[in-house]
Structure 1
Amino acid sequence: MGLNRVTLVCSAIVWLSISGLSHAGVTSNYTRVAEPSEEMPLETFPPPAGLNAPEQVHITQGDHNGRGMIISWVTPINDDGSNVVQYWVADGDESTKKSAEASTSTYRYYDYASGFLHHATIKKLEYSTKYFYELGTGRSTRRFSFTTPPKAGPDVPYTFGVIGDLGQTYASNQTLYNYMSNPKGQAVLFVGDLSYADDHPNHDQRKWDSYGRFVEPSAAYQPWIWAAGNHEIDYAPSIGETQAFKPYKNRYHVPYRASQSTSPLWYSIKRASAYIIILSSYSAFDKYTPQNSWLESELKKVNREETPWLIVLVHSPWYNSNGYHYMEGESMRVTFEPWFVQNKVDIVFAGHVHAYERSERVSSIKYNITDGLSSPMKDPSAPIYITIGDGGNIEGIANDYTYPQPSYSAYREASFGHALLEIKNRTHALYTWHRNQDNEPVIADSLWVKNRHFLPEEE
Structure 2
Amino acid sequence: MRSQMLPSVVPSDEEYVRPLVPMQHDKPASHPQKVHISAVGTLGMGITWVTDDWSAPSVAEYRTSPGKYSASEMGYCTTYQYLSNAIHHMMIGPLEPSTTYYYLGAPPPPPTTGSATRYGMAGDELSLRTPPANLPIEFAIINDIGQTKWTASTLSQIGAAGDHNMLLLPSDLSYVDMQQPLWDSWGRLVQPLVSAQPWMVTEGNHVKETLREPPDYATPCRIVAYDARWCMPHRESGSHSNPNLSYSFDATGSGAHIIMLGSDANSGEGSEQREWLRRDHGCTNYAHQGEGEGMRKTMESLLYEACVDVIFASHVHAYERFDLVPVTFWPGINVSISIGPNSYFGHGRLRIVDERRAVWTWHRNDDEHATVSDEV
Aligned to 1:259: 237
- Are 1:39 and 2:39 matched, yes or no? no
SS of match in other structure, 1:268: strand
Specify every segment of 5 or more residues in structure 1 that has no aligned partner in the other structure, as ranges. 1-16, 305-309, 317-327, 367-376, 385-406, 448-459
| Code of the aligned partner of 1:69 | M
SS of match in other structure, 1:173: helix
Q: Equivalent residues in 2 for 1:15-164 (5 A)?
A: 17=1, 21-22=2-3, 28=7, 32-35=11-14, 36-41=16-21, 44-63=22-41, 66-80=42-56, 82-90=57-65, 94=68, 97-108=70-81, 112-137=82-107, 138-151=120-133, 153=134, 156-164=135-143
Aligned mates of 1:128, 1:241 — CA distance in 2 = 45
Give identity over the alignment, percent: 31
Structure 1 residues 224 and 30: CA distance shift in structure 2, 3 A: same
Structure 1 residues 181 and 419: CA distance shift in structure 2, 3 A: same
Aligned to 1:10: none
RMSD of aligned Cα (Å): 2.5
Contact 1:255 1:267 in 2 (8 A): yes
Aligned mates of 1:383, 1:222 — CA distance in 2 = 33
- 1:337 Cα deviation (Å)? 2.0
Of 334-343 and 416-425, the range deviating more from structure 2: 334-343
Displaced runs of 4+ in structure 1, greater than 3 A? 29-36, 377-380
Aligned mates of 1:251, 1:189 — CA distance in 2 = 17
| Code of the aligned partner of 2:309 | D
Query: Which digits, 9 at most, give the CA deviation of each residue in 1:170-189, with x for residues without a partner?
Result: 11111111111112211100
| Code of the aligned partner of 2:306 | N
Contact 2:48 2:89 in 1 (8 A): yes
Using the size of structure 1 for normalisation, the TM-score is 0.72
More helix by share: 1
SS of match in other structure, 2:375: strand
Provide the aligned length of Structure 1 versus Structure 2: 355
Within the candidate set 183, 206, 219, 2:162 is matched to 183
Aligned mates of 1:150, 1:252 — CA distance in 2 = 23
- 1:145 Cα deviation (Å)? 1.1
SS of match in other structure, 1:276: strand
SS of match in other structure, 2:351: strand
Within the candidate set 293, 297, 312, 2:279 is matched to 297
Aligned mates of 2:121, 2:312 — CA distance in 1 = 42
Contact 1:27 1:412 in 2 (8 A): no
Contact 1:62 1:122 in 2 (8 A): no
Aligned mates of 1:378, 1:227 — CA distance in 2 = 35
Aligned mates of 2:278, 2:334 — CA distance in 1 = 17
Aligned mates of 1:190, 1:296 — CA distance in 2 = 23
Of 26-35 and 139-148, the range deviating more from structure 2: 26-35
Structure 1 residues 48 and 312: CA distance shift in structure 2, 3 A: farther
Structure 1 residues 83 and 147: CA distance shift in structure 2, 3 A: same
Aligned mates of 1:240, 1:232 — CA distance in 2 = 20
Using the size of structure 2 for normalisation, the TM-score is 0.87
- 1:140 Cα deviation (Å)? 3.6
Contact 2:319 2:343 in 1 (8 A): yes
Aligned to 1:389: none
Within the candidate set 159, 175, 192, 2:171 is matched to 192
| Code of the aligned partner of 2:263 | S
Specify every segment of 5 or more residues in structure 2 that has no aligned partner in the other structure, as ranges. 108-119
- 1:341 Cα deviation (Å)? 1.8
Contact 1:234 1:245 in 2 (8 A): yes
